[in-house]
Structure 1
Amino acid sequence: MPQAKSKPKSKKKTPDKAAHKIFKGIVIAFIALFIIGAIILKMSIFKAYPVEGKKQKLSISHGETYTGFIDELAKDDKVSFPIILKLYRKFFIHDTMKAGVYEVNQGMNMRQVLQMVSDSNNAQMNRILVIEGTTAKQLIQALKNDPLVNKSVVKLPTAQLLKDLNIPYDHPEGLFAPDTYFFDKGATDKQILTDLYQRQMKILNEAWEKRDPNLPYKDKYEALIMASIIEKETSVDRELRQVSGVFYRRIKLGMRLQTDPTVIYGMGDKYTGKISKQDLRTPTAYNTYTINGLPPTPIALPSKKAIEATMHPDDSENIYFVATGNGGHKFTSNLSDHNRAVQEYIEVMRAKN
């Protein structure tokens, strides 16, 4: 009797083959992730820093941050995946950016540049930014805090500092030219301040020589005082000569200057961000609401533009101005128009609040 044929058994995957397939998939995924990660790293951390030519100077300002620096590079399409650079900085660079001028060689990658600017010893030069309208006190304090400046005079009393710098004035305010400067790493504070003083005097002397006739300033130092006030009253370049004209006419008419920045300067450390009516009535040597004419010294470091505007006031009839609340000022020639401009300013500020 013939035997019945057995049914063919269905092929089943053995555990070993299933595990092998899973493992193979994991390996492929890992390799894919590795390749993607490598591409991302190459386009971010290991991407060559953009250099024009064989080498390039990189200037880092005081207070500049890695976040701002990386965002600026990303904005200019010089790096991709800025988040990777920020993560690298967070976990591998445990310090802040150090101000100075660094030399970046062709071929250096972003990782090397980020590491380099965390150590001021790598700086080739020191970048010193003197902002127009800041004070001599702020400048001297910045030099005190700058690790790349060799200190020799900034810790001296003011009278001794001026004497050591051969400056023939009793007060340092207004005497140093605001600008961006580059000095060798380790330059002395005396060298830096002397250079800034000489530049400011050159600007002042040249502007004084070319001044309009019949200005109400008896000498160039009084003009420097006025330039510092103008500098503090407006940050809009086109308004400098208009502000100059207002104060020029007030002095000619025998009016008080009545300018808030002088009151603030006279308050010194008592100023906390707001001026009260009592502050306007409290006499100081700088309160132009209570004194006639100019204060005894400048109140800030005026720019070249402000100094030149002082020497060439506009020829309008305006003797008042007030902020618009939207940037800039409104200039008027009579009190009724000025009062309307003040009311308009108040309404704009109320609408914003």
Structure 2
Amino acid sequence: MRRKFLLLLETGLVLAGLCLGASAWKIHSALQQPLNITREELLEVPKGTTPTRTLYRLEADGVIKDAFWLRVYWRFNLARQPLHKGEYRMQPGMTVEGLIELWKRGDIVQYSMTLVEGWNFHQVRAALAKAEKLEQTLDGLSDSQVMEKLGHDGIFPEGRFFPDTYRYVRGMTDVELLKKAYDRLDEVLAKEWGQRSADLPYKEPYQALIMASLVEKETGVPQERGQIAGVFVRRMEMGMLLQTDPTVIYGLGDRYNGKLTRAHLREATPYNTYMISGLPPTPIAMVGREAIHAALNPVAGNSLYFVARGDGSHVFSDDLDAHNNAVREFQLKRRADYRSSPGPATAPDALDEQPIPAASPNIAPEVLEPVPPQAPAQMASPESPASVDEPPQAPSSAPAQPPAEEPAAAPVPEPDATAPQRPQ
């Protein structure tokens, strides 16, 4: 009886060994089989998909065989290994084992999106909507609803996102990417605020962000950011109006068609810095780190005015006489192809090639009341409206008042460009 038992036991062990060996061979063969593809393909793994489901899907598509043995391999060797959502690049000649190595490393195909300095929120949303690999969740939502979805209810979105190149994978939502940009802006602004110069006219970082957006829209040559910020800061400290055209254009919203008239300069919007003192209520565009740094570390000096040369750079002047001479030289006698600033920032290739209007869909926070016209500052401001398309006049306590709808005699700028007759 004992001998029979031992014989049965021995036979069982042999059979078990043979089964294990056969299983190991089957698993090894399944792992070493090449993927049945003739060109590169992307394997999409949606959120929540299990390895088992993915393996059987590949088998159903004819890409692999023996999904059962691969499932057994995963169950006993990689049970705690997560399968990350996204796309995996399958190459001709790759084995199943090579594909599983991609899964183990989380080697997911990544895409990139560049948010450009100077863009407004309308342009940001347009770029997000064209990113096919992003999961679109913001369609049909207002700007305020977008901010609520980001967890920042009541925050006006303009200028609150950091321009940079962001990586994302298929299945990532547009909200997730926007949150990255929002958090990045907060991080950069906080760091630059901690390294700011003394005696600046800002009570909080948000005011510096607003100033940075003016600097961003006015700058054609990067090296001039600090000088432009210096002019604006000194004018604020002296009680002078900022009188910068990009704020007027932003306040016009969809009504801006590329022509800035002198009537526009007198129109009472919350953003018209010809009519309001100090800064506009919100930023007017996204800003890069350099513009924030310039707003918080303006270049010292005496200049209170600047005028565009037409090549993106500016002539800075300390007094109105010198400024009027520069206006006469560079604007009143300008060439037909004169440009006061470079054209709109070029969008990434994947985006719409048509220029996007410079207006935000929500031009001003709803809580802001219309700002009534204010008396111009007694100190002469740079390039007063009288000097937009007329020979410079002697300083006066108030700008000349030309006919209401007479357009300024300047070449039509691009929709997102600064108008040529910039009065700084």
TM range (shorter): 0.5 to 0.7
4+ residue segments displaced more than 4 Å:
101-107
* d(CA) in 2 for partners of 1:287, 1:186: 42
* d(CA) in 2 for partners of 1:154, 1:212: 42
Task: Give the structure-1-normalised TM-score.
Answer: 0.64
* d(CA) in 1 for partners of 2:139, 2:190: 26
Aligned CA distance change for structure 1 residues 150 and 249 (closer, same or farther; 3 Å):
same
User: How many Å apart are 1:181 and its aligned residue?
Assistant: 1.6
* d(CA) in 2 for partners of 1:281, 1:261: 14
Q: How does 1:100-249 map to 2 (within 5 A)?
A: 124-167=109-152, 169-249=154-234
| Native 8 Å contact 1:256 1:293 kept in 2 | yes
User: How many Å apart are 1:179 and its aligned residue?
Assistant: 1.2
- Residue 291 of structure 2 aligns with which residue? 306
The reply to whether residue 292 of structure 1 matches residue 280 of structure 2 is no
| Native 8 Å contact 1:144 1:155 kept in 2 | no
> In the TM superposition, what whole-angstrom CA distance separates every residue of 1:168-195 from its partner, at most 9, and x where no partner exists?
6531000100011221122101100000
* d(CA) in 2 for partners of 1:326, 1:194: 36
Which segments of 5 or more consecutive residues in structure 1 lack a partner in the other structure? 1-54, 56-100, 108-122
Q: Give the AA of the match of 1:240.
A: R
Q: Give the AA of the match of 2:273.
A: T
Aligned CA distance change for structure 1 residues 104 and 317 (closer, same or farther; 3 Å):
farther
* d(CA) in 1 for partners of 2:113, 2:337: 37
Q: Give the AA of the match of 2:169.
A: D
* d(CA) in 1 for partners of 2:230, 2:302: 8
The percentage of aligned residue pairs carrying the same residue is 43
* d(CA) in 1 for partners of 2:277, 2:124: 29
* d(CA) in 1 for partners of 2:90, 2:239: 59
Q: Give the AA of the match of 1:143.
A: L
User: How many Å apart are 1:346 and its aligned residue?
Assistant: 2.3
Task: Give the structure-2-normalised TM-score.
Answer: 0.53
- Residue 380 of structure 2 aligns with which residue? none
User: How many Å apart are 1:104 and its aligned residue?
Assistant: 11
Q: Give the AA of the match of 1:312.
A: N
Question: SS state of the match for residue 311, structure 2?
Answer: coil
Which has the higher mean CA deviation after the structures are superposed, 241-250 or 138-147? 138-147
User: How many Å apart are 1:157 and its aligned residue?
Assistant: 2.0
Q: Give the AA of the match of 2:276.
A: I
Question: SS state of the match for residue 349, structure 1?
Answer: coil
> In the TM superposition, what whole-angstrom CA distance separates every residue of 1:208-247 from its partner, at most 9, and x where no partner exists?
1111111101100011001011000013110000000000
| Native 8 Å contact 1:102 1:125 kept in 2 | no
- Residue 66 of structure 1 aligns with which residue? none
> In the TM superposition, what whole-angstrom CA distance separates every residue of 1:235-280 from its partner, at most 9, and x where no partner exists?
3110000000000000000001000000000000000112010100
| Native 8 Å contact 1:154 1:161 kept in 2 | no
- Residue 263 of structure 1 aligns with which residue? 248
| Native 8 Å contact 1:140 1:154 kept in 2 | no
| Native 8 Å contact 2:247 2:284 kept in 1 | yes
Residue correspondences, number: 239
Q: Give the AA of the match of 2:250.
A: Y
Which has the higher mean CA deviation after the structures are superposed, 287-296 or 157-166? 157-166
What root-mean-square deviation, in Å, do the aligned CA atoms of Structure 1 and Structure 2 show?
2.4
Question: SS state of the match for residue 127, structure 1?
Answer: strand
Question: SS state of the match for residue 306, structure 2?
Answer: strand
User: How many Å apart are 1:351 and its aligned residue?
Assistant: 6.7
Question: SS state of the match for residue 335, structure 2?
Answer: helix
* d(CA) in 2 for partners of 1:301, 1:186: 26
| Native 8 Å contact 1:143 1:154 kept in 2 | no
| Native 8 Å contact 2:219 2:312 kept in 1 | no
The reply to whether residue 278 of structure 1 matches residue 268 of structure 2 is no
Q: Give the AA of the match of 1:179.
A: D
Question: SS state of the match for residue 350, structure 1?
Answer: coil
Aligned CA distance change for structure 1 residues 104 and 312 (closer, same or farther; 3 Å):
farther
- Residue 20 of structure 1 aligns with which residue? none
User: How many Å apart are 1:205 and its aligned residue?
Assistant: 0.4
The reply to whether residue 336 of structure 1 matches residue 321 of structure 2 is yes
* d(CA) in 1 for partners of 2:170, 2:235: 47
* d(CA) in 2 for partners of 1:275, 1:296: 21
Aligned CA distance change for structure 1 residues 346 and 289 (closer, same or farther; 3 Å):
same
Aligned CA distance change for structure 1 residues 186 and 312 (closer, same or farther; 3 Å):
same
Question: SS state of the match for residue 160, structure 2?
Answer: coil
| Native 8 Å contact 2:220 2:312 kept in 1 | no
